[in-house]
Structure 1
Amino acid sequence: MKLQFGTARPGLDYIHRPAVFGLAEREGRLACVRVDRGEGAPYFDLPGGALDGEETEQQALVREFAEETGLIVEPVDRLTEAAQYFLKTDGTPVNNVGGVWIVHVTGADPSAKQEADHELVWLDPLEALFSLRHEAHSWAVARWLRAQPAAPKG
């Protein structure tokens, strides 16, 4: 059974949208995107998005990371699967359904970044937990945190 986050509003027909998101860690911080579409407050998401055509989750993840952040990543492990009801910026009701992957950053290609309203930010995992727009993303961060080795006591 997949996890479903968000609440479907009565009377809206949610589009099933295969999607994928990634967790990239560097020096104890997680890669997130700060999205500012110029309307309302900016918000934070995990890098990722919808699968195009016959793309696999891994292919979409590599493409989305490049388009949103300019980072070159390699998918390592599928951490979990979750779905999230939400309204897109244009008001379209969507249910993102798909995996959240742990990825390894292998490089950067600033010329690959295409989404001007997305800014790469490295957040402390606890800050990410409370700042991410989607409950599914926060849940994935919590799941990732619980899998980390415990710090030595002393």
Structure 2
Amino acid sequence: MAHFSMQFGRTEHGKTYLERPSVYGLCTRNDEKIALVRIGTIDRHVYDLPGGGVESGESDAEAVVREFDEETGLTVWPTRQLCRAGQFWINQGTPTNSLCSFFEVELTATDGRPSEPDHQLVWTSMDEAMRKVRHDAHSWAILLWLRERRNGERGRD
């Protein structure tokens, strides 16, 4: 599949946006529910695809495996890169353009626990995930992945 690139979010006049390479994974179970991370407290939280910033000297594939483990406790293996997208947002007070690489990942183990205390693994339907995620880039990646999967099934009919 070709790597599509899109830019999401809006900039605020007068702010300089730091570019931050980041990775996110799309992972489903046999029941076709997708993994999301609920970040925050019960009263105040957001939803993201599991993932985050790429550390210095780390490949995108290594980063998505590490981030999945930290945020969900799940062990995954990246099977392929799906797409790329930028997302302008304010990250803990810092204007940021997350340069996101989205990966399809395969679930290989489920026996871990998130190491980040304010993160909780949530399994949800694809449609619900597209509505819940806070970033438009994440919703777009889920939609692109879902459409590709559905088109692949039609091609086998």
Q: Structure 1 length normalisation: TM-score?
A: 0.90
**What amino acid is aligned across from residue 75 of structure 1 in structure 2?**
P
Deviations 1:107-147 (A, max 9, x none): 03425x21111100001000001110000000001001101
Which of the numbers 92, 95, 102 marks the counterpart of 1:93?
95
Q: Secondary structure at the match of 2:144?
A: helix
1:23 positional shift: 0.1
Q: Secondary structure at the match of 1:139?
A: helix
Deviations 1:2-30 (A, max 9, x none): 31000111111111000000000111110
Partner of residue 71, structure 1: 74
Checking the alignment, whether the CA contact within 8 Å between 1:81 and 1:97 is kept in structure 2 is: yes
Partner of residue 134, structure 1: 135
Q: Secondary structure at the match of 2:57?
A: coil
Deviations 1:18-71 (A, max 9, x none): 000000011111000001158x73110000000000111000000000000000
CA distance in structure 2 between the aligned counterparts of 1:65 and 1:97, rounded to whole angstroms: 18
Checking the alignment, whether the CA contact within 8 Å between 1:66 and 1:109 is kept in structure 2 is: no
Q: Secondary structure at the match of 1:95?
A: strand
Q: CA RMSD in A?
A: 1.8
CA distance in structure 1 between the aligned counterparts of 2:150 and 2:138, rounded to whole angstroms: 21
Q: Secondary structure at the match of 1:12?
A: coil
CA distance in structure 1 between the aligned counterparts of 2:83 and 2:72, rounded to whole angstroms: 22
Give unpaired runs (5+ residues) of structure 2.
none
What are the equivalent positions in structure 2 for 1:3-152 lying under 5 Å apart? 3-26=6-29, 27-36=31-40, 41-88=44-91, 90-111=92-113, 113-149=114-150
Give unpaired runs (5+ residues) of structure 1.
none
Aligned-residue sequence identity (percent) comes to 40
1:98 positional shift: 2.8
CA distance in structure 2 between the aligned counterparts of 1:59 and 1:50, rounded to whole angstroms: 11
Q: Structure 2 length normalisation: TM-score?
A: 0.89
Checking the alignment, whether the CA contact within 8 Å between 1:4 and 1:83 is kept in structure 2 is: yes
Q: Displaced runs of 4+ in structure 1, greater than 6 A?
A: none
CA distance in structure 2 between the aligned counterparts of 1:28 and 1:37, rounded to whole angstroms: 26
Aligned length: 149
Q: Secondary structure at the match of 2:27?
A: strand
